[in-house]
Amino acid sequence: MTTDHAADIDHAADIDRHVRIYITVFVALMALTIVTVAISRFHLPVPMAITVAMLVATIKGSLVACYFMHLISEKKLIYAVLVLTGAFFLALLALPVLTVHDGYWIH
Amino acid sequence: MDIPYTVEVRRDTGLTNGKIGIWLFLASEVMLFGALFASYILIRTGAETWPRGDTILNVPLATFNTLVLISSSVTMVMSWASLKRGRFGTFRLYMGTTILLGCVFLLVKYFEYSHKFESGLYPSTNNFLAIYFTLTGLHMLHVFGGMVVNAYFWGPGSKLWKTNPEWFANRVEHAGLFWHFVDLVWIFLFPTLYLL
């Protein structure tokens, strides 16, 4: 067996392992979607409902990002880009919160 | 002149140019949707009353669409895995299924929109519907854009497989990253608009 051939087999085994993970993640995403809808049927108080819904959505989003988008094994530069994006994204989401104190800084 | 670093990685970044390019594009997309989510929060927290999404929107249809989009993400990543295994026929099957699932998603949205319009519910009706149509409309445009790219790789773009299979696999991976991002956005849109 040549070294290249051995590497090819390793590569094929690696892809097979990835495919098994994709299927597991797929099942988890389906289940979590059903969970999201089921929880909404309980008509929880709004703050609690938002917290739970966003928690489940974050878990689902993380699964997609980590496994389908391969972020779990990405290069440092991609992580750096995402950290920077995340910081700006959070700042953007925080802007409406600052409006609660509208005029506070002026007076 | 050949485009550099399409297959071999740059020594400084450890990445191909395509990979870093698509991630920078996705970063700009995060900010685009982030701005709209921030608007949603601002409008909702400023409103005296806000309707629950499920009193206006069709939750079973949206749940079905969520499952469709998640399935399309799996078929997309499987199409890339098929190329990595050297199975071009399987790639076309999975990519074709991804495009088809995208069509199903858009068809369901068409029925949802039609029903709203027939009921006299327009973006101008109230703030909830304005933000609903804006966010889902922009998302639909992204689904459509992704489908056009996927259709290109399923059809004419797949000629590259014969001359440079590794580059072709990389291009499909980049298209996949966009498609998964579109799925990711929907994962947050669904509970935000329909269930809360």
Q: Which of B32, B64, B68, B70 to mutate to test the interface with A (most CBs of A within 10 A)?
A: B70
What is the rounded distance in angstroms from the CA atom of residue A48 to the CA atom of residue A42?
Answer: 11
Which pLDDT value is given to residue B20?
95
The answer to whether B27 faces chain A, any CB pair under 8 Å, is yes
Inter-chain touch A85–B81, beta carbons under 8 Å? no
pLDDT in tens, B134-149: 999 999 999 999 999 9
Confidence of residue A7 (pLDDT cuts 50, 70, 90): low
Q: Is residue B40 packed enough to be buried (19+ CB in 10 Å), middle (13-18) or exposed (0-12)?
A: buried
What is the full DSSP assignment across A15-36? HHHHHHHHHHHHHHHHHHHHHH
Question: Cβ-count burial of B6 within 10 angstroms (0-12 exposed, 13-18 middle, 19+ buried)?
Answer: middle
Tens-place pLDDT, residues B38-78? 999 889 988 989 999 999 999 999 999 999 999 999 999 99
For helices B88-118 and B127-154, the axis angle rounded to 10 degrees is 160
b/e per residue B79-118 (b: at least 16 CB within 10 A): bbbbbbeeeeeebbbbbbbbbebbeebeebbeebeeebee
For range A101-105, the mean pLDDT: 60
Q: What average pLDDT score do residues B80-89 get?
A: 96
Residues of B in contact with A92 (CB under 8 A): 31, 34-35, 37-38
pLDDT digits (tens, 9 = 90+) for B143-184: 999 999 999 999 999 999 999 999 999 999 999 999 999 999
Decide: B191 and A56 in contact? Cβ < 8 Å.
Answer: yes
Chain centroid to Cα B184, Å, comes to 8
Quote the mean pLDDT of chain B. Answer: 96
Residue B29: which H helix or E strand, with range?
helix B17-46
Alpha helices in B53-164 (DSSP H): 53-56, 59-84, 88-118, 127-154, 160-163
Q: How far apart are CA B142 and CA B136, in angstroms?
A: 10
CB contact under 8 A, A85 and B41: no
pTM over 0.90: yes
R_g of chain B computed on alpha carbons = 19
**A61: nearest CB among B14, B34, B184:** B184
Do A75 and B14 lie within an 8 Å CB cutoff? yes
With tokens 């005029």, the residue in question is A103
Closest residue on chain A to B40 (Cα)? A96
Using pLDDT thresholds of 50, 70 and 90, give the confidence band for residue A1: very low
B102-143 pLDDT per residue, tens: 999 999 999 999 999 999 999 999 999 999 999 999 999 999
Per the CB < 8 Å rule, is A78 touching B73?
A: no
Look-up of token digits 């295994």 = B85
**CB atoms A68 and B73 under 8 Å:** yes
Residues 32-71 in B contacting A (C-alpha not used; CB under 8 Å) = 34-35, 37-38, 41-42, 45-46, 54, 59, 63, 66-67, 70-71
Q: Dihedral sign, CA of B111, B112, B113, B117?
A: positive
Q: What 3-state DSSP class applies to B121?
A: coil
* d(C-alpha A74, C-alpha A64), whole Å: 14
Residues in chain B closer than 8 A to A75 (CB atoms): 13-15
- Per-residue pLDDT reduced to its tens digit, A90-101: 998 887 777 766
